[in-house]
Structure 1
Amino acid sequence: MRVVHFIRNYADERGLPQPAAPRGVDNVPTVYLTSDTTKTNLHQQYQTSCTEAGSRVIEITAFKEIGRMCLPHIRIAGPRDDVCAKCETLRRGVMDAVTEEEKLTATDSFRNHILLAQKVKMFDT
């Protein structure tokens, strides 16, 4: 139960919940952890919290298995999943542009958005 609570709390604090569940899944929306999160780093944070609380620590294989079985809707985002809705819209705009001018305008908008997002991310860390 400690593992489930730890992962759930971590996802509540840092996860990116999706607005709706994928088709054919138990109506539980997926929560993506950022792509720079790894299961090993997550387990290390779990170990630290258990050590501080004086609780027993389980090994990483059991940690991964519990997460996979009990919390299948919490996933680590791949590089293509870890984008905001505006990124996706701007990327589609580049793909859908017909003329050279439309392509350049869409590409500039997309580039400016990415640069702004990088500045915000650097400021947050």
Structure 2
Amino acid sequence: MSLLRSVISSCILLILSSLLLLSCQKAEMEAPVLTADPALVQTWRYPCGPACDASAWVLVMQNGIAYEAPDLPANFQIDDQPVSVQYRRTGRKSTFNPGTGLEIISIVAIRPR
């Protein structure tokens, strides 16, 4: 019986140690992406209620994928401006109902093309 308790105690200690080790590791962030081809800055309008229109700044990549860019610097907020941009994907979408429905990105670096 004491051997069984010892084995169970060892297993529990091993499991707890593993959980502690896993919880202390930093989450891996996706590496920033630098566009090789220019992206286009655009303003997209969307309904935000019965008598309401809203807009968001969007970056449209050469492959047609569009991302919402809420932290687009003011000097780049020009429709159809081509830019090179380094960004991180967040995996989040706007919480503003219904919003653009696009994934939000975090801009790391941006420059005109």
Provide the TM-score with structure 2 as the length reference. 0.21
Which protein is richer in helix relative to its size? 1
Higher relative contact order, chain-length normalized (CA < 8 Å, sep 6+): 2
Q: Which has the larger Rg?
A: 2
TM-score normalized by structure 1? 0.20
**Greater share of strand:** 2
